[in-house]
Every structure is written in structure tokens, then in C-alpha cells.
Amino acid sequence: MMTEPLFDTMAIIGPGLIGSSIMRAARQQNAVRQIVASARSAETRQRVVELGIADKVVETNAEAVEGADLVIVCAPVGVCGTIAEEIAPHLKPGAIVSDVGSVKTSIVRDMGPHLPDSVHFVPAHPVAGTEHSGPDAGFAELFDGRWCILTPPEGTDDEAVKRLAAFWALFGAHVEIMTPDHHDLVLAVTSHLPHLIAYTIVGTADELETVTRSEVLKFSAGGFRDFTRIAASDPVMWRDVFLNNKDAVLEMLGRFNEDVAALTKAIRRGDGEALEQHFIRTRAIRRGVIEAGQDTATPDFGRPHGHED
Ligand code: NAP
């Protein structure tokens, strides 16, 4: 535990899975002196009070950011621009304003223009998550051993970037800095496309006429089960991811379709060699993921509901 908190007051806007995990981790690591939270619904505000994970829960986002040194917007990507506009006049000069959105180019585009020059805007994406939502789903260890990607726009104050990096490092996260465009391309293939495939395959299985739904569920351990977990991820969050990372996802989807076509051809032609070579290559990638410490060899990831977004 640190002796001195890195920030005096932290405001969390949207204390859902990610926001409430930050609040819990910040408390556990003594990263901030005071935590203020605001949520859209009265239910969420009430639940945050009951959970006791904030020092203060307020009704409006404007009120939450008053006097805060660190503001983290943890709402779905599609509403971050509106929230930036709402909080802009109330921000403390010198404050660091960040977010946790799974897409970064649109965050910079939508939030950046509203924020005054007197604050430091350092967008972030903790590449850690689960398929669960809301303040009850969060836990302090969520970011431990995971990556947090910072995408500061050009000209951002170095000290502010270093301070936010130090904040994430306190939670056990490894920090990397990228341009927003590059982030979106990397995440399109590592997260967005896999989610799209899971959403597709679960829908496909559900619409089959010759295989009953009960058979799909009964024999799901054959591979389907792992897709259902990913396809249970929050619909609004993922709607916003695809709407806001359209170009990169379409680029990756184009490549994916070409590769599916090649495998389809190999199956049709009975080309066992092509199939086997492909599977040997992908097995090596799986080993690489485990060696990089981003998963364990045991099923279900060996972590509570763990998967990366
Ligand atoms: P979540 O659990 O559903 O929480 C979202 C929070 O945002 C809730 O507190 C919600 O308030 C609030 N919110 C929703 N719509 C809003 C609006 N129109 N205005 C103001 N607040 C609003 O979602 P999450 O999984 O924490 O995701 C939050 C962000 O983290 C997203 O941008 C997502 O891309 C990013 N992210 C998610 C994951 C993941 O695995 N889930 C991983 C990394 C990054 P109410 O409860 O009152 O509705």
C-alpha cells in the first residue's frame, strides 16, 4: 500500500463494472483520498451507497467533478461526448480527465473538443473485463496483470500522462501508450471481432431448425459454451463499440471473411494438410497468450468471470 495517495479527489462517472472496480482498487491501494461517484439512475446511486464504495454519491455529473483532481468517465462510449460537454464548465483547472472506453478514436473526437485547455485529457482503456455489468459486478483485482492502454492526444502534458500511468500501475496493470487509431486497429482484431463472432455463432445456433435449443445447451461444452459467455456481454456497450470502431472492424471482418473462405475451400476439397497447418499455427498463438500471462491453461480462464475487452 502507498503512503501518500496519488490524487486528492477522484470522480467516477458511471460506477458500473469498470467504474466500481476502479473505486474498489483505488480504496484498496490508497490511490486517492476521496471518491465521488455519479450515476444516471437512482437505483445505481443507491446501490453504490449501500456497497459503501464511494465517500460521496451525487446526482449530477457536474456536481461530481467539482473540485476533483482526477475525473474518469466510465459510461458507454456513445455517451462520453455528451458527458464531456456537461462536465466541462465545472472541471477544476489542472485536473486530469480520462475515460475507460473500449474505442479510442471516437472518444478523442467526441470528448476532446468540449474540454477546456486548463485540464489534461488522457484517454485510457483498461483491457480487462467480464460479461457482467453494474456496481455489484466490480472487484478490486480486475486490472491486476492486465494492460491499460493510454492514448493521449498530441501535445498532452507528459507529467499528466505519467501520473495516470502511475495510478493504473498501482492496480497491478501494465501500461502502454498508443495512438488512438492504432489502439482501435489492435482491439478490432483482439476484442471486437471475437465478440462479433461470438454474437453471430450464438445467434446462428439459436436459429437452427434441425438441432433443438435443448441439444445446443446440453452439448455446449463442445466449444459453444465459451462463445455464450462472450455473447452475454453488455448489449449497449457493444452496440457502441461497433458503431464507433466501424472502419477498423470492417477491415478486420474483411480479412476474417477471406480466411473463412480459405478454410471453407480446404474442407470442401478435403485438404487435410491445409487444415492441420492452420490449426498448428493457431495452437502456437494460444501458447503465446498463456506465456504472455494473459490467460491460464485451465478452462474458464482461472479467474472470476475473466475475459478481455
Ligand atoms: P456498465 O457496468 O453497464 O456500467 C456503465 C455505467 O455507465 C453505469 O453506471 C451507467 O449508469 C452509466 N451510464 C450508462 N448510460 C449512461 C448515460 N447515457 N449517461 C450517463 N451514464 C450512463 O458498463 P461497463 O462494463 O463498466 O462499461 C463502461 C465502459 O467501460 C464502456 O465504455 C466500455 O466500453 C468500457 N470497458 C468495458 C469493459 C467490459 O468488459 N465490460 C472492459 C473495458 C472497458 P446506470 O447504472 O445508472 O445505468
Residue-wise pLDDT tens digits, 155-174: 999 999 999 999 999 999 99
Name the pLDDT band for 137 (thresholds 50, 70, 90): very high
CA distance 19 to 176: 20
- What would the grid cell of residue 198 be? 461470438
C-alpha cell at 219: 452439448
In the predicted model, is pLDDT for residue 70 greater than 80? yes
Calculate how far, in angstroms, residue 100's C-alpha sits from the geometric centre of ligand 1.
9
Which of 40, 82, 127 is the best mutation target for the ligand 1 pocket, counting ligand atoms within 8 Å of the beta carbon and taking the most?
A: 40
Distance (Å) from CA 17 to ligand 1 centroid: 7
pLDDT (0 to 100) of residue 223: 87
Determine phi and psi for 39, rounding to 5 degrees.
Answer: -135, 155
Residue with cell 489502439: 183
Reported as a pLDDT band with limits 50, 70 and 90, residue 309 is low
Question: Is beta strand 7-13 parallel, antiparallel or unpaired with respect to 124-127?
Answer: unpaired
Q: How far apart are CA 167 and CA 141, in angstroms?
A: 14
Q: Give the mean pLDDT of 96-106.
A: 98
Mean pLDDT of 108-135: 97
Compute CA 274 distance to the chain's CA centroid, rounded to the nearest angstrom: 35
Q: Which residues line ligand 1 (CB under 6 A)?
A: 14-19, 39-41, 44, 74-77, 79, 83, 100-102, 125-126, 129-130, 133-134, 234, 237, 309
Q: How many residues does the chain have?
A: 309
The verdict on pTM exceeding 0.85 is yes
Q: How confident is the model at residue 3 (pLDDT cuts 50, 70, 90)?
A: low
pLDDT at 297: 67
Å from CA of 22 to ligand 1 middle: 12
Report whether pLDDT(300) > 60. Answer: no
pLDDT in tens, 246-299: 999 999 999 999 999 999 999 999 999 999 999 999 999 999 999 988 887 654
Instruction: Name the 3-class secondary structure at 63.
Output: helix
Ligand 1 atom closest to 77 (CA)? 32
Q: How far is the CA of 247 from the centre of ligand 1 (A)?
A: 23
Contact 5, 32 (CB under 8 A): yes
- In this structure, of 74-83, 143-152, 210-219, the range with the lowest mean pLDDT score is 210-219
**pLDDT band at residue 202 using 50, 70 and 90 as cut-offs:** very high
Q: What is the pLDDT of residue 19?
A: 98
Region 78-92: what's the mean pLDDT?
Answer: 98
Query: How far is the centre of ligand 1, averaged over its atoms, from the C-alpha of 163 (Å)?
Result: 24
